[in-house]
Amino acid sequence: MADMQTRPRQIVLLAFVIGATTATLRAQHPAMPPGMTHEQHLAQMQKDAELKKRGADAMGFDQNKTAHHFRLYKTGGAIEVVTNDPADDVSRTQIRTHLETIAGQFAAGDFGKPLATHGELPPGVQTMQERRTSLTFTYEELPGGGLVRITASDAKATDAVHEFLRYQIREHATGDPLTIQ
């Protein structure tokens, strides 16, 4: 009689353990995109983890507590970063400090932080450096963080900004539109 009562409990416990393990693995290991091999998926996950680590070091805030957005506009674009938690005052302050610094560095032709974050010089940067007199970088505060608005005064500079921002959209996997808004 004791075995008949113990077996259902064991089955329920086993189902709970399997369910919890599956949920944990799913949270740690995102679904593999269609058309990608397991090895490619593992390599992409490693690349993403390295990007977040380098980004945290270069930007000064936890990449998992924030969201990046990159906007393409007719005359340039914008880099926007906000906290995921509206009550996260620490991350909001760190974001604002970083973006204000970035606006000044980019205006001076210094793109060291994107290089440090991505481990390579993003496309468009060389032209942005060469044409920096055709570009303005304006920092603006947002309720959840801030943004750097990039405005170009000529077509070559605008194309370079778009190239730079499209790279950022792909690398940070933001899901932002790759088209001009």
What is the band of 53 on the pLDDT scale with cuts at 50, 70, 90?
low
Asked whether residue 44 is assigned to any structural domain, the reply reads: no
pLDDT of residue 39: 79
pLDDT beyond 80 at 154:
yes
Phi, psi (degrees; rounded to nearest 5) at 150: -110, 120
**Mean pLDDT, the chain, integer:** 83
Asked whether residue 45 is assigned to any structural domain, the reply reads: no
| pTM score of the predicted model | 0.74
Average pLDDT over residues 27-33: 59
Structural domain of residue 109, as residue ranges? 50-181
pLDDT beyond 60 at 131:
yes
Asked whether residue 146 is assigned to any structural domain, the reply reads: yes
Indicate whether 59 and 138 sit together in one domain.
yes
Higher pLDDT, 45 or 144: 144
Asked whether residue 41 is assigned to any structural domain, the reply reads: no
